[in-house]
Structure 1
Amino acid sequence: MISRGRRGARGLSITTLPYKVKVYSNNQVLIPAQLVRALGIQTLEYAEIVLRRGDQSVTVFVRLLKTRFTDSRQFTIPKEVREKLGILPGMEVEIVEIRRPKDVI
């Protein structure tokens, strides 16, 4: 009999906030599947996210992008926020908080 285990890469074992993550070249940031499940935000389409870089922090309202086969999410850091905090691709930012939006679109 063939044993069917899990497929694909193991993924990042991040389950609590805050966490630090690198910004991709397309200005997107990953929210790992284990964290998405731990926070119970699998069904959210939009979220309010508190980002920190150095001693500056900002709250952004973003659309959570998802893939077909995993619970991980990505979001794009808005241009105004990138310019304000001086964020470039490859830099590290800290995700301090992820919460449901107050006003559902």
Structure 2
Amino acid sequence: MVLRVTIHRRTKRINVVSLPYLVKVYINNQVLLPASLVRALGLSNHRFVNIELEYKGFMIELRNVRLLRTRHTDSRQFTIPRDVRKLYGIGPSDIIKILSIEPSIVNQ
């Protein structure tokens, strides 16, 4: 008698639907925006956004940031520019707070 067991692996989904949002900076200096947040803010069809974030008490405004996308999901990533990282000392695995995300004029 052969008994087969199927194991379904499920990833833990990040369910974020509002801002502010705390997120960790990845090793490649990118920040992930989960699909639930992208859908809630209506950013699925936008390539460029303006982002306000907070890091160690500093308010940082990033204009015309390009959103990188994967092929099959609504999640997006963006890269923090090098000059901003150097100026504020933002490094991999640091926690930043995203305060606002709005579509940029460049999209039109």
User: What is the TM-score when the length of structure 2 is the normalising length?
Assistant: 0.85
Aligned residue in 2 for 1:99: 102
- 1:48 is aligned to 50
Larger Rg: 2
Q: Mark the CA change 1:38 to 1:32 in structure 2 (over 3 Å): closer, same or farther.
A: same
Pair 103,82 (structure 1): closer, same or farther in 2 beyond 3 Å: same
Shift of 1:32: 0.4
Aligned residues: 99
1:15 aligns with: 17
Q: CA deviation at 1:104?
A: 3.7
Residue ranges of structure 2 left out of the alignment (5+ in a row): 1-8
For 2:72 and 2:107, locate their aligned partners in 1 and report how far apart those are by CA, in whole Å. Answer: 25
**1:83 offset after TM fit, Å?**
1.2
Query: What letter is aligned with 2:80?
Result: I
Distance apart, 1:21 and its partner CA: 0.3
d(CA) in 2 for partners of 1:79, 1:67:
23
Is 1:69 aligned to 2:72, yes or no?
yes
Q: How far off is 1:85 after superposition?
A: 1.5
1:24 corresponds, among 5, 23, 26, to 26
- After superposition, the C-alpha distances for 1:63-91 in whole angstroms (9 at most, x for unaligned) are 00000111000000001111122101011
With normalisation by structure 1, the TM-score equals 0.87
SS in 2 for 1:94: strand
Taking only the aligned residue pairs, the percentage that are identical comes to 45
